[in-house]
Amino acid sequence: MDPEMNKLLKWSVTNSQASAGAEGEGSAPNATEAAKTMTPEMLSRLFGGPSDADLMRAAMEVVHDPETDLENKLIAFDNFEQLIEGIDNANNLEPMGLWTPLVQLLKHEETEIRRYAAWAIGTAVQNNPKAQDKVCNLYLETCVPIHSELNTNINQLVLLNSIPDLVTLATTDANQATRKKAVYALSSAVRNYQPAMNELNKSLPEGYPTETDAGDMDAVDAVMDKLRATPVEAST
């Protein structure tokens, strides 16, 4: 059974019992107090409101809709980013097929859309548990994730070849806010996750390390600091 429906059933039973007891005592049940125990999710199920998955899908459709103006696209994208701050919603991006349309927006013509795309990606991968259980020997190449499902979102970035796109944004986008969000996404993706770090090393311009230990926070910070300091000519 849907967990929220289960909660709603328990709420109904509990308050029905309270009502019966109150009638026996000659007093009406306190409807206000009962209502306070209902969560927004329970109300949504009760009145048929959209689920988070529905809202995420709708928001992405709005952002991709050519008929929607930029202001409303940004409102939809802001809502989308807030929704995936929840780990369950972030991990639903892959089964819902939303990773591909999300990373496509890294190449959008509008810099604000590119900024939100990088921001949402950073939020989604950061919401994967950082304490990824691994069994390693002395060589990083033999690190084996025990719970590979924890890395699903980061794997999507690797599989969809999005890390080079994020590097391009971080080093060439004329908008500083967009560059910062691209670095945020990269930083969230590679820390403690060597496959993503390896992809980043391969995508970095000349002058960057060719190998970096994803578990060495000082080394990762050095790469991110250098990306943040990359000079970019202002657009004319």
Classify residue 93: in a domain, yes or no: yes
How far is the CA of 136 from the CAs of 172, 194, 212, in angstroms?
Answer: 36, 11, 16
Task: Note whether 45 and 113 are same-domain residues.
Answer: no
Q: Which residues pair with 145 in a beta bridge?
A: 134
Classify residue 233: in a domain, yes or no: no
Task: Give every CB contact of residue 173 below 8 A, 6+ residues apart in sequence.
Answer: 111, 114, 179, 182, 232
Q: What is the rounded distance in angstroms from the CA atom of residue 48 to the CA atom of residue 5?
A: 11
Q: Read off the pLDDT band of 48 (50, 70, 90).
A: low
Task: Note whether 223 and 138 are same-domain residues.
Answer: yes
Task: Note whether 66 and 179 are same-domain residues.
Answer: yes
Q: E strands of the chain, at which residues? A: 134-135, 144-145
Q: What is the rounded distance in angstroms from the CA atom of residue 15 to the CA atom of residue 31?
A: 9
Task: Note whether 82 and 3 are same-domain residues.
Answer: no
Classify residue 202: in a domain, yes or no: yes
Q: What's residue 78's pLDDT?
A: 95
Q: Are 190 and 227 in contact (CB under 8 A)?
A: no
Task: Note whether 56 and 42 are same-domain residues.
Answer: no
Q: Are 4 and 42 in contact (CB under 8 A)?
A: yes
Task: Note whether 181 and 87 are same-domain residues.
Answer: yes
| Share above pLDDT 70 across residues of the chain, in percent, rounded to a whole number | 67
Give per-residue pLDDT as tens, 4-28: 555 656 666 666 655 555 555 444 4
Task: Note whether 26 and 61 are same-domain residues.
Answer: no
Domain end point (choices 49, 65, 81): 49
Q: Are 204 and 167 in contact (CB under 8 A)?
A: yes
Phi, psi (deg, nearest 5) at residue 144: -120, 115
Task: Note whether 32 and 76 are same-domain residues.
Answer: no
Q: What is the DSSP letter of 235?
A: P
Q: What's residue 13's pLDDT?
A: 63
Please, where are the H alpha helices in 40-98? 40-47, 52-64, 70-83, 87-91
Estimate to the nearest angstrom the gap between the alpha carbon of 36 and the chain centroid: 30
Question: How many folded domains does the chain comprise?
Answer: 2
Lowest-confidence pick of 40-54, 66-80, 81-95, 200-214: 40-54
- State which of 18-22, 34-38, 183-187, 195-199 shows the largest mean pLDDT: 183-187
Q: What's residue 41's pLDDT?
A: 65
- pLDDT (average), residues 46-75: 90
In the numeric block, the tokens 């690190």 are attached to: 143
Residue 44, domain extent:
1-49
Name the residue among 48, 46, 103, 55 with its Cα closest to residue 80.
55
Q: What's residue 38's pLDDT?
A: 59
Q: Taking the CB of residue 217, how many other CB atoms lie within 10 A of it?
A: 11
Query: What is the average pLDDT value for the chain, to the nearest integer?
Result: 78
Res 140 pLDDT > 50: no
Res 144 pLDDT > 50: no
Task: Note whether 23 and 135 are same-domain residues.
Answer: no
Structure tokens at 104: 């496509």
Q: What is the rounded distance in angstroms from the CA atom of residue 180 to the CA atom of residue 73?
A: 21
Q: What's residue 47's pLDDT?
A: 63
